[in-house]
Amino acid sequence: MQLALFIIFGALALGGALNLLFQRHPINSALSLVVVMMSLAVLYWSLGAEFLAAAQVIVYSGAIMVLFVFVIMLLNAGEEEHTTGSRAAYTVGIPGAAAIFCLLSFVFLSERNALSTSAIGGDLGNGVDNIAAVSAMLFTKQLLPFEVTSILILVAILGAVVLARKEL
Amino acid sequence: MVPTAYYLILAAMLFSIGIGAFLIKRNVITIFISIELMLNAVNLTFVAFAHMWHQVNGQIFVFFVMVVAAAEAAVGLAIIISIFRTRRTLNVDEINLMKS
Amino acid sequence: MSHLTNFEVFLLLSVLKVGVVLVITLMSVAYTVLLERKLLGRMQNRWGPSRVGPFGLLQPIVDGAKLFLKEDLMPLAVERPLFLLAPVIALACALVSVAVVPFGAVTRVRGVDIFELANVNIGLLVILGITSIGVYGITLSGWSSNNKYSLLGALRSTAQVISYELALGLSLVGVVLRAQSLNLRTIVDSQSAHGMLSWNIFGGFQFVAFFIYLMAAYAETNRAPFDMAEAETELVAGYHTEYSSMKFAMFFMAEYANMITVSCVATLLFFGGASSPFGHLIPAIGGHIMQAILPVLWFVAKVFAFLSLYIWVRATLPRFRYDQLMSFGWKFLLPLAMANIIITSFVLAIRG
């Protein structure tokens, strides 16, 4: 079950990411990222992170990506054209990214014995359900960072309003 | 049963694709989208490790990453809109005012 | 059925449940349309559809046949894949959220709960998530139609739905605080102790939350008085201007399916779901089957009441202006929802 979920949604995520890379139009890239995010949400759920799976769908695909699509629609962004800068990126970027991938997967595979295996919906909080465990941690030990993020969001909202105003 | 290494390798693939897209794409919005892809790849490693160690700390970290990503998207998109207002383009090669 | 293994029984019953619920939902979508036309007609002092079948009861079927048989127009300059995808997203998202709604008391047939498709720990979040994905249907339809009216309608509608989602989510926090769970079944159970008196809206003092939820839900489903996205007088028909035949029907069905979902959620969260309003005042009558069916009837009655309220509001209130809509959402509903959360948690902290 775990393996089936991993294969299906891992392949879906990978396909979405590749589609993001190859599509020319920004809206297609944005929608492929939505596919990636939804399949990652399923993977999170299968790894026992119920709350994060829901938050991924609500926050990432439901709010952030809608905002992206909204801006693409608003600015009526067209297909991108190739310029000189992008050719340099092709020659350096793709081998670089491939090298990073090879390095990471080499490390992961060589350390494979040190890493454990995962069972579906693993029980993290010793019998407490995932949301209770996450919220207990969030509102006791991590209270200060949690409050700081609220200030961060407030600042971000103000910044966005100031930046997007007409008379700038 | 899936080895945790598989999740990490999937995350590495997504991250490398994100880097590739970040370098190749010329549209500001698409570049921004590939940053989000990289953030998501990192989140997957956090969740996989949280599962491996049976601790929720990794999930808390992902939560904070999501919050920061939301804030970043709001500000970033506002910046993109104001760039578009002044320069009438979304191509990063043409946004070169500082280069003289 | 005795020679089947437990897993096979589970699989068979699940497929059966999904099929039955899907058919019932689609039928109720069709008949909600008829209900709306009849009620609106009576409120405007006319008959409504009355020609097809007795009291016009066959009207939805004829309407469906008409939409099926119409010519499927494909405008020239559309983004073809997204144009085709948009109505599918809208309808699928509208229908999927019924999957986590418990519409009866716990009744097990060989270990399978037959009155709920899936009992998920995070049921409420699932509904919120699916609703937020539904926005893509509207957004993409407007953008891919390559029509300025569609684009304007979709932009308006997207902004509206994103804004009101905040108020909607925050209004539900009070209920979750009281039930201490996101499981819809647990939320219903937390209200079923003393009948009507323990419903969240009366006993739980969540009427402010209910008011916020109601307003936000009207806006989320793009219904009057917040139906700016399809204001005929300004935008022709908004985001589905370019759609015809079955694709238009899918948007139409999505709108009504969303209404039903929203009514189900309101029933579950504020009106005690499938529990009886009289609690234990009325002694249990009938056998097992009666006991299993009665809660479903209560649930349907409550949902029906909500749908009627929807239609009543549509017949009564004029459309908001767009800036009024935005300032109502951000300056009135959102602070009110936050105040409700603070007061509810304060009271709960003092009590507990």
Question: Which CATH number is B23's domain given?
Answer: 1.10.287.3510
Beta-carbon separation of C136 and A34 below 8 A = yes
Contact C168, C217 (CB under 8 A): yes
Domain of residue B67: give its range. 4-99
The tens digit of pLDDT for each residue in C155-172 reads 888 888 888 888 888 888
**DSSP-derived secondary structure letter, C222:** T
Specify the amino acid at residue C190. S
Min Cα separation A144/chain B (Å): 12
- Report the pLDDT averaged over residues A126-138: 76
Beta-carbon separation of C142 and A51 below 8 A = no
Specify the amino acid at residue C286. G
**Which chain A residues touch C if contact means CB-CB below 8 Å?**
27, 31, 34, 38, 50-51, 53-55, 57-58, 61-63, 66-67, 69-70, 72-74, 129-131
The count of structural domains within chain A is 2
Beta-carbon separation of A43 and B7 below 8 A = yes
Beta-carbon separation of A93 and B9 below 8 A = no
For residue A125, the model assigns a pLDDT of 47
- The whole-angstrom separation of Cα A160 and Cα C57 is 53
Give A-chain residues touching C138 at CB under 8 angstroms: none
Q: How far is CA A87 from CA A17, B93, C201, in A?
A: 21, 12, 63
* Chains with ≥3 CB–CB distances under 8 Å to B: A
* Chains with ≥3 CB–CB distances under 8 Å to A: B, C
State ipTM: 0.88
Beta-carbon separation of A118 and B2 below 8 A = yes
Say if pTM beats, i.e. exceeds, 0.90.
no
The count of structural domains within chain B is 1
Identify whether residues A97 and A136 lie together within a single domain.
no
Beta-carbon separation of B81 and A152 below 8 A = no
Identify whether residues A12 and A92 lie together within a single domain.
yes
Q: Is the pLDDT of residue C247 over 60?
A: yes
**DSSP-derived secondary structure letter, A118:** E
Min Cα separation C174/chain A (Å): 16
Q: Which of A122, A138, A158 is the last residue of a domain?
A: A122
- Max alpha carbon distance in chain C (Å)? 65
Domain of residue A21: give its range. 2-122
Identify whether residues A80 and A149 lie together within a single domain.
no
Contact C219, C166 (CB under 8 A): no
Name the residue of chain A whose CA is nearest to C85's CA. A31
A116 in reach of chain B (CB within 8 A): yes
Beta bridge partners of A32: none
Give chain C's mean pLDDT: 83
Structure tokens at C311: 């239609």
Identify whether residues A155 and A78 lie together within a single domain.
no
Identify whether residues A111 and A141 lie together within a single domain.
no
Least CB–CB distance from C122: residue in A27, A50, A67: A50
Min Cα separation B95/chain A (Å): 12
Q: Which of C90-94, C119-123, C238-242 has the lowest mean pLDDT?
A: C238-242
- Report the pLDDT averaged over residues C51-68: 83
